[in-house]
Amino acid sequence: MEFGYFAQCFVPDFGYKDNPNWEAERIRDNLEISQLCDRHGFKYIWSSEHHFLREYSHMSCPEVFLSAVASTTENVHLGSAIFNITAPVNHPARSAERAAMIDVLSNGRFELGTGRGSSSTEVMGFGMPGAPRDPETGLADTEVTRGLWDEAIRQIPHMWREGAYSYEGDSFSMPAREIFPKPVTKPHPPLWVACGSPGTFEKAGKLGIGVLCFTIGTPDEIAPLIEIYKNEVASCKNPVGDFVHDNVMCVGFGICLDDREMAIDLATRSHMYYYQCLVYRWLDTFPKPDGIPEWPSVIPEPTHDEVKMAIEGGSLAVGNADDCIHVSRQYERVGADQYVISPLTSTLPMDVVRETIVNFGKHVIPVIDTDPVHRSTRQREAALSS
């Protein structure tokens, strides 16, 4: 199983009280940690794309952020988690161009994670031409984005591989045009999609693309979804791209310190539950579990005992290296191919985040990820040689 870092750019409002440059610092902190990951055995840096979601994520331009990472790293693959490829937000031709440019700048290290957006605040901020409207509120039905994504993901590989390419579709059309630059990765960068429900895991498998698992839950709760995907992708004969990309990435929190008790104590006051409440404040397509109050009410941060239970249960990579190995093994056990940590979706001090990355690199990753080659690279190269 491989390891990655997730750059979400969480910017809680209360940080501005003592620091008027809080937002800019948080963006630069994510860049610094990405560079540190490159030197400590992590294989991926993932960056989200979100718009208009105060506090939760100020990462509105992942292509710019990942280009900065590309210019200051050598080994990590750079993944969009996600690029919103629906036509009202980003024209699919622009998504194809942006992805290809990052691939060129990184010398073939880019992987295109895609999605349709999980928040009506985002989607309706860009307008939804042609979408059904609620007769009372006038708001667009965001379910239409499923079809928009499905149409776009099938056309982007054509844009990469062909010369002048034209398309007449339901959500977008374009006359014969050739996009530039072309990706340097052959036949093209690996494709991924954000998944949350059983239906999207199944669809990803049928299309032969990787899964970005943003489902909140324990490894055992996620296991049935991974099984659905693995069953489908194993029988995929006609992938949407030029090769079957069998890969599951799961995201979790992470604190890995030499001092176990300090790590647990920090987890109880890191605002990670405040961040989780923001998930359900903004991402209104996510089913809200019991116990999550309506915003602005928030759930209290976990107690020391609750953190220890989550570590033991394999759902919270907090503690020392042995704890983080234990949790990583739980994700590996249920079929995850990559475990991604997001310590900056909290208010942890930067020295703690730095120590976490270094300790993962020294003590956790070498135990679990023994293959120096990226899983996606092996699959892509196998397809080229067949």
147-152 contacts at long range (C-beta below 8 A, 24 or more positions apart): 147/171, 148/86, 148/87, 148/88, 148/116, 149/85, 149/86, 149/114, 149/115, 149/116, 149/193, 151/87, 151/92, 152/85, 152/86, 152/87, 152/92, 152/95, 152/114
- Tell me, yes or no, if the pTM score tops 0.75: yes
CA distances (Å), 107 to each of 45, 111, 120, in order?
15, 12, 36
| Calpha distance 6→9 (Å, rounded) | 9
* Per-residue pLDDT, 282: 95
CATH code for the domain of 180 = 3.20.20.30
* Per-residue pLDDT, 130: 59
CA distances (Å), 326 to each of 315, 316, 364, 366, 372, in order?
10, 10, 9, 14, 22
| Calpha distance 237→243 (Å, rounded) | 9
What's the structural domain count of the chain?
A: 1
| Calpha distance 140→127 (Å, rounded) | 8
Sequential pLDDT tens for the chain (386 residues):
999 999 999 999 999 999 999 999 999 999 999 999 999 999 999 999 999 999 999 999 999 999 999 999 999 999 999 999 999 999 999 999 999 999 999 999 999 999 999 888 998 898 876 565 666 655 556 778 999 999 999 999 999 999 999 999 999 999 999 999 999 999 999 999 999 999 999 999 999 999 999 988 999 999 999 999 999 999 999 999 999 999 999 999 999 999 999 999 999 999 999 999 999 999 988 888 888 999 999 999 999 999 999 999 999 999 999 999 999 999 999 999 999 999 999 999 999 999 999 999 999 999 999 999 999 999 999 999 98
CA distances (Å), 84 to each of 2, 49, 94, 179, in order?
25, 7, 11, 18
Token readout for 266 is 């920090």
Given a contact cutoff of 8 angstroms between Cβ atoms, the answer to whether 380 and 209 are in contact is: no
Range of the domain at 321: 2-385
| Calpha distance 322→331 (Å, rounded) | 15
Distant-in-sequence, close-in-space partners of 370: CB < 8 Å, separation ≥ 6: none
| Calpha distance 100→187 (Å, rounded) | 12
